[in-house]
Amino acid sequence: MAVLQQQLEQARAEAAQREQRLMDQELREVKQELKCSWREHQQLQKEAAEAAKREARLHGEADRREGQIAALEKALAAERQRTDGAKPEALAEAVVAALTDKVLKQLSAQPRAQPQPNAPAVGASSGSAPAPGARAALPQAPQPPRAPGPPSPAELRQAVAAKDAPRLRALLAAGASTVAPNPETGNDLLHVAAGTSFVEGCRLLILAGAALEPRNNRGATPLGQAAHFGNLDALRCLLLAGATVHAKDNEGNRPLHRAAQRGQVPMVRLLLMANAARTAKNNDGYTAYDVSTGSGKLAELLAAEAYDGSTNNGYADDGFISFT
């Protein structure tokens, strides 16, 4: 009897131990599941936060792009309105010039009236014999007409340098070429117009088919010229016509470098709206931020992506371009 009692107690103890082990194992499994669930919950929360940030960035970028597009469309509409207002006058002058040229050619092509071989000499009365010793007038060969040539490059350069829009319009209507570089500086007509803020001249030259990216002796384009001299209206006109903001001069400077060097906040903002690269460096390794001068607003515009710790706010004027 005692043996049976002992065996029963031993069986009960073993059963209790097995039950305890099962409970401990189940508890560990539950804890592990809870831990995994908590990690998954944290990961999901992190992913949700990142997704919300990405969505906010995308919305902000979309709003910024829409603002840029609206601003450019507004500027383009204003530019088109100004350009369309000038077109009828330019067309009328072109028609008048063409008709005048045609009439002059017709008049010069007509043969001059020549005396007949048997006509009496000058001074003889009608029906009377020619005076003794007088010779009959010999017919002269007609002189070839002199075709009026196109205006010279010097005339065009003078008109642009003087900002004489009517004169420039008349010269272009007469067939003048838009290519008339200065032999000393290499500045083409569009360089001169952009450098002197001759916006009407820029518009007339562009409408006449002038190239937007000619290079002068320093490798600068008209857009770089406008940026260097701080001519915002000329720069806007060139951008609307399709001039690139990425053109580099011989020193590696882009229009954004030149605008920043002059402390031109509106011009820098306009170039950035046209997707000018903040991080682009010149041949010396400087960004537009490095060469910028002026207000804190300019630094704020340029430092968003470009600041790398090196500054050169004392960047000297190197006599970039002469615009005559």
Q: What pLDDT is attached to residue 305? A: 45
Q: CA 62 to CA 115: how far, in whole Å? A: 84
**Segments in the chain forming alpha helices (H):** 2-109, 153-161, 165-173, 189-195, 199-207, 222-228, 232-241, 255-261, 265-273, 296-306
CB within 8 A of 46, min separation 6: which ones?
none
What mean pLDDT, rounded, does the chain reach?
75
Question: What secondary structure does DSSP assign to 123-140, as a single string?
Answer: TPPTTSPPPTTPPPPPPP
Distances (CA, A) of 178 to 56, 156, 160, 244, 318: 49, 8, 11, 19, 29
pLDDT tens-digit readout, 76-96: 777 666 655 545 555 455 555
Question: What secondary structure does DSSP assign to 168-218, as a single string?
Answer: HHHHHHTT--S----TTT---HHHHHHHTT-HHHHHHHHHTT--S----TT
What percent of the chain has a predicted confidence (pLDDT) above 70?
71
Q: What pLDDT is attached to residue 123? A: 40
Q: What pLDDT is attached to residue 37? A: 78
Neighbours of 23 (CB within 10 A): 10
Chain mean position to CA 203: 14
- Residue ranges of the chain with per-residue pLDDT less than 70: 79-149, 294-295, 304-324
Q: What pLDDT is attached to residue 70? A: 78
In which element (H, E) is residue 143 found?
none
pLDDT tens-digit readout, 29-55: 888 888 887 888 888 888 888 888 888
Q: Tokens 């045609």 appear where?
A: 102
Q: Tokens 């450098």 appear where?
A: 195
pTM over 0.75: no
Neighbours of 243 (CB within 10 A): 22
